[in-house]
Chains A and B, each alone.
Chain A
Amino acid sequence: MRILHIFWREYWGNITRPSYLLFTFGFPLFMVALPLGGGLVLALALKSAMPPTDPRPVGLVDQAYVVDDAAIPPHNPVEILFFDDVDAAKQALSQETIQAYYHIPADYWETGQVIIAYDVAPTPPIDGMISRWIEDQIKAEVPARILARVDTGPSITHQGLTGDSAQFDAMSMIAPIAVFVVIYMSRLISSFTASYMFDSITNEAEDRTLEILITTVTPLQFILGKFFGLLAVGLTQIGMWFGAAAVIVVGVGYVWGIDVVSPVLTWPYLGLMVSVLVATYLIDQILAAALGLKRVSGGSGHLLFNSLNAVLTIALLYAMYFVPRNPDTPVAVAASLFPLTASVFLPLRVVISEVPIWQTVLSQCLLWASVIGGLFWLRELLQANLVANAQPTTWQAIFNDRWRDLKRLATRTK
């Protein structure tokens, strides 16, 4: 019951904070508004930097018979007037009825050269219009089957020699992108919730509420209540963001007639992904709480917490840029096994390469063992922190105590 009280106080206190509400609702809006606003400003800036387009037509002299007589010429941004010879086009240019003329000479098919004559050069959109039209006329000469393959190229599937080995085709590109987005968002939410945990523990330890609380509840009750309260805070945020995203994706899929739910539910790595992300989320909170306690006695908690986040951000960048090219390097394998970085490396590696099963199993065992061990370690740290009012606790002392306990246990077992 006391755990529930602590849980509710932590949960309700946090989700009603203005900063929490601002971030929860403001961040998705910001993520949508930023590209829209940025794009609009960039378009305006580009428009102001572009030279104005002359509205007069341009001439075309086609001596290589590139243009099909039946083809409808483009007219955006300006009209095209056809001339039989260069002299007529020159005259129109001198009379300023056209701003420039494009001359496709008879040897165009050998040289590819097109002559542009003008007094003031036409703007790039006009050159682009002519260039695209010539390209379309050339493509019309090529057999459709060959043109399709030249345009789109092959769809390459990568697979091993045995029948049951992993396969990676063009559609598999979606998985690493989706995994990266989910990992990034999870890390963001996790670090945000971890900072709640850190501040919450630190504040209560600083204003000495901790001692008062601890006289009515056990350290384990206190830690579990706080822990699950803040866990629920983070899950509320995750639920709102991912829930809103899921509603939009499913809605769009429904309108376009695409089933987006089944591929996710039948995705073979869904279980692994959930397990890794949940375990890492818990580890983040444990570390934040531990560093929050450490700040009281050591003063280095905040620095360590920020450093840890910086290291994980670098790990994420490393995983994004280097791992897809070489997913089986010793660094990538080690990072997949190490509990703090497994959530970044393991899900990415399984969707881009064939990861040995022992690595997946060992990584999971280490990850969850760290979570369980971390919870008990946190309780010990809390007690050590309380006892250490007179004398600050050190990391060395905590690990020495644990080592002594293990030796004592071993002696008793004998």
Chain B
Amino acid sequence: MSKLLTVAQQEIRFHLSQRSFYITLIAMPLVFAALGALPRLQNAVERAPLPPVETVLNLGSETLTAPVGIVDHAGLIQDFDQFQPFESVDAADEALRRETIESYYVIATNYLESRQVVEYSQDPQLLSEHDAAVRALLRDNLLQSLDNPNLAARLAHPVEWERQGPPPPVARFIPADMDLSRLVSAGLVIGLFIYLINAGGHLLLRALQREVKAHVLEVMMVSTTPEQFIGGKLVGLTVLTVLQAGLALTAAALVYGQNPDGSGPAALPIVLLALSVPYLLLGFLTTCALLMGIAVLWPNFKESTLLLAAFRFVSLIPLIGTLFILPNPGGPIAMALTLLPITSHLLMPFHLLVEAVPLWQWGLGLVLLTLWTIACLWFSMRLFRLNGLLTGRNVSPNLIWQAMWR
């Protein structure tokens, strides 16, 4: 036990000597708390008189911002609205050269068959900001050309429903009566958990590779058992993770729910946070155990970094479960997802924070997750031991299987 604690102490000491640890330790609670102020910032930006920015996403304006001409060879346009009509191309060309217009459009004689319209300008480009206005002009004039004005109106707006009964059901992931600020709080807490779990796994991987690179591992292994060595590393990192999580959650608990207008994340209930933290810790330990397996099987740092990236992506997959929990929190899918050990470490805290969960369900989920974590840790310890046994030999699935039970 004392050796395990010694390894843990050394791990903590190493991280406490790193400048980056302190930067993260301070920055994370600040960022996490600052997210609560985002809605107020958004309100301030919406009130500020900022000019619109021209991007590919806001190209659909039907209002002209500069003088533009039209030469209608098809004779379709009755109402030129905001455009300047020209009798001929020469006249429009002259106006363009004198810069009284920015560009002009020529509607082909056989427009109804060919769809052809050409815009002439000094600096032609693929996306013109006047195109949407020209499309609207042509559409409106074509509808006006119909004999029956009612037909044109119905073609533009076919149906307006008048309901004699209760409002229709709406397909939505978030129930109408759900408190959105509570949902935001739950989302932020889950985001923090994902970050801490991934960061902890990464630190463990780096810690093992650090020892391998410095050739300290061989020396350590003769004086400690794999359980003591890995256990020590995990205890050290868990202490640091709990410290980070505690600071971030305390900062959030102090800030969230304090916006005077009621916007932003809701206040974090301490009891629910306390019920969520065991899931975080068990999820953290499971992730560390699985990553340790990666580090053992692929000790090359470059290789394991790529696998770590893939693992991080895979670790986000349980979040898809929120789409199934939100519409029906009490349903069988939601219950299964909060009990399943590979998803419960994230989805049970999420479920707790958005909707009440029966205590037996919380307890059963915790028991299942604990068993799963123990199995993962055992497996990774065996793999770690196997790493020593298989030194210098080509690793095959059969060899791994045999070595696992020796």
Residues in chain A within 8 A of chain B (CB atoms): 17-19, 22-23, 26, 41-42, 44-46, 48-51, 100, 108-124, 127, 130-131, 134-135, 138-139, 141-143, 145-146, 148-150, 152-161, 165-168, 172-173, 176, 199, 320-322, 324-328, 351-354
Q: Which residues of A contact B310 (CB under 8 A)?
A: 22, 26
Cα distance, A158 to B115, chains bound together (Å)? 14
- 0/1 string, B156-175, CB within 8 A of A gives 1: 01111111111111111100
CB distance from A87 to the nearest CB of B (A): 14
- Contacting pair B135 A321 (CB below 8 A): no
- Contacting pair A48 B151 (CB below 8 A): no
Given A119-B165, A134-B159 in contact, is the A23-B56 Cβ separation under 8 Å?
no
The number of residues on chain B lying at the interface, defined by a beta carbon within 8 Å of a beta carbon of chain A, is 75
- 0/1 string, B108-148, CB within 8 A of A gives 1: 00011111111111111111110100110011001101101
Q: Which residues of A contact B139 (CB under 8 A)?
A: 150, 153
- Contacting pair B164 A116 (CB below 8 A): yes
CB distance from A30 to the nearest CB of B (A): 9
The stretch among B191-199, B243-251, B298-306 that forms the contact with chain A is: B298-306
Cα distance, A326 to B164, chains bound together (Å)? 51
Given A149-B111, A156-B134, A354-B125 in contact, is the A118-B164 Cβ separation under 8 Å?
yes
Q: Which residues of B contact A141 (CB under 8 A)?
A: 148, 151
- Contacting pair B161 A127 (CB below 8 A): yes
The stretch among B232-240, B321-329, B350-358 that forms the contact with chain A is: B321-329
Q: Which residues of A contact B118 (CB under 8 A)?
A: 156-159
- Contacting pair B116 A157 (CB below 8 A): yes
Is the C-beta of B34 less than 8 angstroms from some C-beta in chain A?
no
Q: Looking across the interface, which residue of chain A has its beta carbon closest to that of B145?
A: A146
Show 6 residue pairs from A and B whose CB-CB distance is below 8 angstroms, ordered by the A residue. Answer: A22-B307, A115-B163, A118-B164, A138-B151, A145-B112, A173-B126
Q: Which residues of A contact B114 (CB under 8 A)?
A: 155
Q: Which residues of A contact B145 (CB under 8 A)?
A: 146
Given A146-B146, A149-B115, A156-B131 in contact, is the A115-B162 Cβ separation under 8 Å?
yes
- Contacting pair B134 A154 (CB below 8 A): yes
- Contacting pair A135 B158 (CB below 8 A): yes
- Contacting pair B115 A161 (CB below 8 A): no
**B window 168-217: CB within 8 A of A:** 168-173
- From the candidates A41, A112, A154, name the one contacting B160 in the complex (CB within 8 A): A112
- From the candidates A42, A127, A152, name the one contacting B168 in the complex (CB within 8 A): A127
Q: Which residues of B contact A153 (CB under 8 A)?
A: 115, 135, 138-139
Given A165-B124, A168-B126 in contact, is the A155-B117 Cβ separation under 8 Å?
yes
Q: Looking across the interface, which residue of chain A has its beta carbon closest to that of B128?
A: A158
Given A17-B302, A156-B118, A321-B55 in contact, is the A353-B146 Cβ separation under 8 Å?
no
Q: Looking across the interface, which residue of chain B has its beta carbon closest to that of A130?
A: B159
Q: Which residues of A contact B154 (CB under 8 A)?
A: 108-109, 112, 138
Cα distance, A261 to B134, chains bound together (Å)? 35
Cα distance, A45 to B54, chains bound together (Å)? 35
Q: Which residues of B contact A159 (CB under 8 A)?
A: 118-120, 124
- Contacting pair B115 A152 (CB below 8 A): yes
Q: Which residues of A contact B172 (CB under 8 A)?
A: 49
Is the C-beta of B150 less than 8 angstroms from some C-beta in chain A?
yes
- Contacting pair B151 A109 (CB below 8 A): yes
CB distance from B118 to the nearest CB of A (A): 5
CB distance from A7 to the nearest CB of B (A): 20
Q: Which residues of A contact B115 (CB under 8 A)?
A: 149, 152-155
Given A19-B303, A109-B154, A149-B115, 8 extra CB contacts under 8 A = A108-B154, A118-B163, A139-B155, A142-B151, A142-B155, A154-B116, A161-B97, A324-B127
CB distance from A258 to the nearest CB of B (A): 21
Cα distance, A119 to B165, chains bound together (Å)? 6
Q: Which residues of B contact A108 (CB under 8 A)?
A: 154
Cα distance, A320 to B134, chains bound together (Å)? 25
Cα distance, A102 to B363, chains bound together (Å)? 52
Cα distance, A321 to B59, chains bound together (Å)? 11
CB distance from A133 to the nearest CB of B (A): 10
Is the C-beta of B93 less than 8 angstroms from some C-beta in chain A?
yes
Q: Which residues of B contact A41 (CB under 8 A)?
A: 320, 323
Cα distance, A139 to B155, chains bound together (Å)? 7
CB distance from B157 to the nearest CB of A (A): 5
- Contacting pair A325 B169 (CB below 8 A): no
Given A19-B307, A327-B125 in contact, is the A50-B302 Cβ separation under 8 Å?
no
CB distance from B71 to the nearest CB of A (A): 14
Given A124-B168, A153-B139 in contact, is the A135-B124 Cβ separation under 8 Å?
no
Q: Which residues of A contact B170 (CB under 8 A)?
A: 124
Is the C-beta of B48 less than 8 angstroms from some C-beta in chain A?
no
Cα distance, A124 to B164, chains bound together (Å)? 16
Cα distance, A149 to B111, chains bound together (Å)? 9
Cα distance, A388 to B273, chains bound together (Å)? 55
- Contacting pair A146 B171 (CB below 8 A): no
Cα distance, A18 to B158, chains bound together (Å)? 59
**B window 315-342: CB within 8 A of A:** 320, 323-324, 327-328, 333
- Contacting pair B142 A150 (CB below 8 A): yes
- Contacting pair A324 B151 (CB below 8 A): no
- Contacting pair A45 B173 (CB below 8 A): yes
CB distance from B249 to the nearest CB of A (A): 29
CB distance from B394 to the nearest CB of A (A): 14
- Contacting pair B123 A354 (CB below 8 A): yes
